[in-house]
Amino acid sequence: MNIGEVSERAGLPPKTIRYYEDIGLVRPLRSDNGYRAFRESDIHKLAFLGRARTLGFSIEDCRTLLDLYEDESRESAQVKSVAKEHLTAIDRKIAQLKSMRQTLSHLVDACQGDYRPDCPILEDLAKGS
Amino acid sequence: MNIGEVSERAGLPPKTIRYYEDIGLVRPLRSDNGYRAFRESDIHKLAFLGRARTLGFSIEDCRTLLDLYEDESRESAQVKSVAKEHLTAIDRKIAQLKSMRQTLSHLVDACQGDYRPDCPILEDLAKGS
DNA sequence: CTAAGGCTTCCAGTTGCGGGAAGCTCAAGA
DNA sequence: TCTTGAGCTTCCCGCAACTGGAAGCCTTAG
C-alpha cells in the first residue's frame, strides 16, 4: 500500500509518516519503483503512534510504548510507569497554565480596554507582580 | 553595565539577553572594548520581557506589548486584545491537557502495573478509543 | 504523447533558546 | 611584569516534531 492511502487509514500526514520512518519508528518495505510499501502491521503501528501522540506522549515515549507493545514478555508495570510519569508531567503543565490564567484574567478584567493609554496589564508587566 | 550583572538584575540568562538583542527586542550600547553596555532602561525592558514570558506570551506578543508600552498614544484596548487572545489560547491548551489527563488517568487506573504483560493502556493505544 | 497527480529525496524554517568552541579583554595575584 | 582566570565576544549546532517547498522520477488516463 502506498503512503497516500496509509495516510488516510492511519490518520497521519504523509510527511509525518516519512518522518517516523526517518527516526526508525516504522520500517515499511520498498517496491521496485522505490515507493514505500506498507503492510497492515505498519498501518497498525502508525495508528498506535497517532493515538499515543494525541495523548501527548513524546516521540521517545512512543518508541518505548511501541517496543513494549511488541514485547511479549513485557510487564504491565513498565507501561504503567511511563504513563504515570507522563500524567504527572501533564499535571505540572496544567498547574502552570492555570497559574498564568489566574494572573492574566485578573489583569484583563482590570483593564478598561478603551481608547485611553492607561493599562493595568502593562503596569503589571513593567513593575513585576 | 555588563551583561553578567544585567543578567542577575533582570533575572534572565546572558544567552537569552543576547538572543533578545539579536531579534531586536533590546538595543544596548557598546563600550569601546566591544562589550554590551546596558542602560537602566534596557534592564527595565528585559525585566518586562521576562515577566511577559512567564505569563506565557510569545516573543512576538512580547514585541507588540513592548511597543505598546513605549507608545504614549496607545489605546488600552490594543493591549487588552493581545492579552485576551492569549488567554483564550491558554484556555484551549488547558482544555486539551485536561482531556488527555482524563483519558490517561482512567487507563493508568485500569492497569494493574504488575509483572504480567496484559495492559489496558497498550490495548487502548492499539485499537484507538 | 502529454498532462496531472502521486511518489521520491533533500533542505530550510518553525519557537526560544542552550551548549560549546575559539578568541579577545580585564582585574588580581606572584 | 607576567600570568592566570573569569568574563565577554561571535558563530554555529542542536533540540521537538514536524511542515513547506523545490526538483525530479513514476504512473495512469485521455
- List, for residues B51-68, the tens digit of each pLDDT value: 999 999 999 999 999 999
Q: Is A29 helix (H, G, I), strand (E, B) or coil?
A: strand
Give the pLDDT score at A96.
97
Q: Is the pLDDT confidence value at B128 over 80?
A: no
Nearest CA in chain A to B69: A122
Note the pLDDT of residue A127: 84
pLDDT score of B47 more than 90: yes
Report pLDDT for B51. 97
In 3D, which of A38, A89, A46 has the Cα closest to residue A69? Answer: A46
Tell me whether residue A4 is exposed, middle or buried, using C-beta atoms within 10 angstroms of its C-beta: 0 to 12, 13 to 18, 19 or more.
exposed
pLDDT at A129: 53
Locate the chain B residue with the closest alpha carbon to A99. Answer: B55
Residues A12-28 have a mean pLDDT of 97
pLDDT band, residue B32 (cuts 50/70/90) = very high
3-class secondary structure for B9-43?
A: HHCCCHHHHHHHHHCCCCCCEECCCCCEECCHHHH
* Nucleotide C7 C1' to residue B97 CA (A): 36
Cα A67 to Cα A61: distance, rounded to the nearest angstrom: 10
Tell me which protein residue sits closest to nucleotide C6, measuring alpha carbon to C1': A4
* Spatial distance between the Cα atoms of A76 and B1, rounded to a whole number of angstroms: 57
Confidence of residue A65 (pLDDT cuts 50, 70, 90): very high
Phi/psi of residue A38, nearest 5 degrees: -90, 140
**pLDDT tens digit sequence for A89-122:** 999 999 999 999 999 999 999 999 999 999 999 9
pLDDT for res A45 = 97
Identify the pLDDT of residue A128: 63
Return residues 60-119 of A near B (CB < 8 Å): 65, 68-69, 71-77, 79-81, 83-84, 86-87, 90-91, 93-94, 97-98, 100-101, 103-105, 107-108, 111-119
Q: What is the mean pLDDT of chain B?
A: 96
Mean pLDDT computed over every residue of chain A: 96
| Residues of A (28-57) whose Cβ lies below 8 Å from B | 44, 47-48, 51-52, 54-56
Q: Which of A82, A27, A76 is closest to A56 using CA atoms?
A: A82
Q: How many angstroms separate the CA atoms of B103 and B42, rounded?
A: 46
Q: Which residues pair with A52 in a beta bridge?
A: none
Nearest chain B Cα to A110, which residue?
A: B80
Backbone conformation region of residue B113, classed left if phi is above 0, alpha if psi is from -120 to 50, else beta: left
Mind listing the pLDDT tens digit for each residue in B17-29?
999 999 999 999 9
Mean pLDDT score, A18-47: 97
pLDDT at A16: 97
Q: Which residues of B touch A83 (CB under 8 A)?
A: 104, 107-108, 111, 121
Q: Give residue B127's pLDDT band: very low, low, confident or very high (50, 70, 90).
A: confident
Selected for mutation to probe chain B from A12, A88, A122 (highest B CB count within 10 Å) is A122
pLDDT given for residue A11 in this prediction: 95
Angle between helices A59-70 and B120-127 (to 10 degrees): 100
Q: How many angstroms separate the CA of B1 from the C1' of C28?
A: 20
Dmax (CA) of chain B: 69
**pLDDT given for residue A57 in this prediction:** 98
